[in-house]
Amino acid sequence: MREPSSGDANRSHAVRPHTADVIIEAYGQTRVDCLAEAVAALAEVYAERPSDTDSDADSDPHPAPYERVRVAVGADDALGRLLEEALLLLDSRGLVCFGAELSDIGDEVVGDLLALDVAAVEVTGSAPKGVADPELEHIDGGGHVWHARAIIDV
Residue 140's pLDDT is 74
Give the Cα separation of 98 and 84 in Å (integer).
14
Residue 57's pLDDT is 41
Higher pLDDT, 61 or 15: 15
- Average pLDDT (45-68) is 59
- Average pLDDT (131-140) is 89
Question: Could you tell me which residues come within 8 angstroms of residue 6 by beta carbon, excluding any fewer than 6 positions away?
Answer: 12, 13, 37
Residue 99's pLDDT is 87
CB contact burial 122-134 (16+ within 10 A = b; e otherwise): eeeeeebeebeeb
- Distance from the first to the final alpha carbon of the chain: 14
Averaging pLDDT over each range in 38-42, 57-61, 105-109, 110-114, which range is the top one? 38-42
Q: Hey, what domains does the chain have and what are their CATH numbers? A: 2-153 (3.55.10.10)
Maximum C-alpha span of the chain:
42
- Average pLDDT (1-25) is 74
